[in-house]
Structure 1
Amino acid sequence: MTDTPARLLNLLSLLQTPREWPGSELAERLSVSPRTIRRDIDRLRGLGYPVESSRGAVGGYRLVAGTAMPPLLLDDEEAVAIAVGLRAGAGHAIEGVEEASVRALAKLEQVLPSRLRHRVSTLQNATIPLTRGDGATVAPQTLTALAGAVTGQEKLRFGYRAGDGTESRRLVEPYRLVSTGRRWYLVAYDLGREDWRTFRVDRVTEPFPTGARFAPRELPAGDAAAYMARSMARARGEVEVELDVEFAAPAEFVVARLPAHLVPVATGPDRCRLRARVTDSVEWLAVRLALMDVELVVRAPDPLIAYMRDLSERLAAATRG
């Protein structure tokens, strides 16, 4: 193989296999001399790839973890498998990896050959995932189109169906994609309404990047996740309240059953108390506390106390007779 760039790419692809390669085997695979392999290994090291070598009769070369992620070279089967997995993860908003899945999927699908895109779509269309929740799934093509527009700071047109079924066309400056664990949302500046808006991505149709660039505006909340949380709270009629609850259990037991931002303080060997400012509905707070399977006393807020009393009476009545 006389084409040095092509040979280096093939060599890097071989080294990404988790094994140690003898220099003679690499030379045979690439149809070059062992001396050429040694020079190519030095070239890769010069480009920043951490290639280790071992001496001896059975010595060889292997790629190890370095300070940066090298470009991965995938064969057709590997590319299809990764794309299908990323589509599944992004489309159903798997908590914790959702945004990374979308970014990786957008990069991968941008360079996939058409024959592989067809294989990915065929495989995904032939499978039905068993999901939980309200079943609001998102087409991966929609997510990648939105992610590309966000990254490229490109104005975006799309159709949108509101909660009451009203259809409209929107022209927006996309700011961020946000996942709540069950659904995807797009935070964007709506040029037609001249204001910031949040859009449920499963209600977005025919997203079309216009090619027109824009300078990002300053989001009022400063952070897309915080803006999204406030927007959802307003939509549900939630208000900010001071929560005060005493638990008849150690703090480490209680903290494991609460969201990460709610941290109780130990008040004794087997008691703790939670005081926090929260923005949630009293219905959600009541159910969350009831599911903790621990004795507790709610000190505040008053609407939560009243709701829990009413809920307990209704549950007790439901079990009579």
Structure 2
Amino acid sequence: MTTDTPARLLQLLSLLQTPREWPGGELADRLGVSRRTVRRDIDRLRELGYPVQATMGADGGYRLVAGKAMPPLVLDDEEAVAIAVGLRAGAGHAVEGVDEASVRALAKLEQVLPARLRHRVSTLQAATTPLTSGDGASIAPETLTLMASTVAGRERLRFAYRDKEGGETRRLTEPHRLVSTGRRWYLVAYDLDREDWRTFRVDRVREPFATGVRFAPRELPEGGAAEYLRRSIGQRQDRYEFEVRFAAPVETVSARLPEWLGAPEADGEGGCVLRGAGGDQPEWLAVRLAMVGFEFTVRSPAELAACARKLGDRLSRAGGAAG
């Protein structure tokens, strides 16, 4: 019998988070208490914001249902390890769709994991070889989670940084936001020594250190972090203008396009047109456009159109002859 009320509530919550309906008698037996105590504990959970639904009758019971807000979850050891490993794998390889929110979730989870579970997570990941796409460099998940923590806590971050020529400098920054482009992670931060905003490729960061010094957030010159990163990358790379028409409505295409590619505009004929400036290799842009999942036509430049044709021919050969 669990006599400690907080411990009993956690045990009850863990049972209810299993996707099934629990008869009151079975819950009472599991907890070693009376049905009346179970009803009181259910009321306590509801007061804490957990939406517990009760059904009447001989076959009635309790189940946890979706509510208006996300309540705290109770995870067992295996569930916590599985979630941490999954988030680490995605974060470390900048998988598109696994953005800063997932890195923040990983930072929160690893902060509260017991040492024995952190060891299990590290051991399992070290023994696992992920299959990833793209040519983005791998990143230690610990680096991302540390950066996410300093962003959330508005804490100054110090690190060593290697530029594209191989030169290394020490940086003291006020981290503003982590941004994923699908292949790489970038940190948008205010560089205190240079007294200006900078973007840093996270795979070039070494020895990140949270200083513990808090700072008041600054406002970016224009737009959000993603827009600032787009402009920053454009200033450092050879850019080319492109125009692509998708044979699909603008709403559906927008939902599949990464923010860094820009926003398409309706063309009045049931499709939409995407105009922008590319800094990546045209081959990669052709692949990324194909991943949107709709028919498209490259209007310019000719180099991108040629890359799209080669990609189509290669995929056709890979698929073999029809029938």
TM-score by length of 2: 0.82
Tell whether the 8 Å contact from 2:249 to 2:272 is kept in structure 1 after alignment.
no
1:223-259 residue CA offsets vs partner (Å, 9 max, x unmatched): 10000000111111337x6x677x7x95659x86986
Distance (Å, rounded) in 1 between the aligned partners of 2:146 and 2:298: 48
Distance (Å, rounded) in 2 between the aligned partners of 1:273 and 1:74: 45
Gaps of 5+ in 1: 299-303, 316-321
The 3 A distance-change label for structure 1 pair 139 and 57 is same
Per the alignment, residue 284 of structure 1 pairs with: 282
Q: In the alignment, is residue 47 of structure 1 matched against residue 45 of structure 2?
A: no
1:161-186 residue CA offsets vs partner (Å, 9 max, x unmatched): 11111111111000000000000000
Aligned AA (2:27): L
Tell whether the 8 Å contact from 1:54 to 1:61 is kept in structure 2 after alignment.
yes
- Name the SS of the counterpart of 2:132 in structure 1: coil
Tell whether the 8 Å contact from 1:286 to 1:308 is kept in structure 2 after alignment.
no
Per the alignment, residue 318 of structure 1 pairs with: none
Per the alignment, residue 10 of structure 2 pairs with: 9
1:181-214 residue CA offsets vs partner (Å, 9 max, x unmatched): 0000000011111111111101111111000000
Distance (Å, rounded) in 2 between the aligned partners of 1:70 and 1:64: 11
What is the correspondence of 1:23-42 to structure 2 with a 5 Å cutoff?
A: 23-42=24-43
Q: CA deviation at 1:296?
A: 6.9
- Name the SS of the counterpart of 1:217 in structure 2: coil
Q: How many residues align?
A: 297
Tell whether the 8 Å contact from 1:103 to 1:147 is kept in structure 2 after alignment.
yes
Per the alignment, residue 110 of structure 2 pairs with: 109
Q: CA deviation at 1:75?
A: 0.7
**Identical positions, percent:** 63
Q: CA deviation at 1:60?
A: 0.9
Aligned alpha-carbon RMSD (Å):
3.2
TM-score by length of 1: 0.82
Q: CA deviation at 1:273?
A: 8.1
Tell whether the 8 Å contact from 2:282 to 2:304 is kept in structure 1 after alignment.
no
Distance (Å, rounded) in 2 between the aligned partners of 1:293 and 1:71: 43
Per the alignment, residue 265 of structure 1 pairs with: 267
- Name the SS of the counterpart of 2:139 in structure 1: coil
The 3 A distance-change label for structure 1 pair 251 and 140 is closer
Higher Cα Rg: structure 1 or 2?
A: 1
Aligned AA (1:42): D
Aligned AA (1:284): P
Q: In the alignment, is residue 172 of structure 1 matched against residue 173 of structure 2?
A: yes
Q: In the alignment, is residue 156 of structure 1 matched against residue 154 of structure 2?
A: no
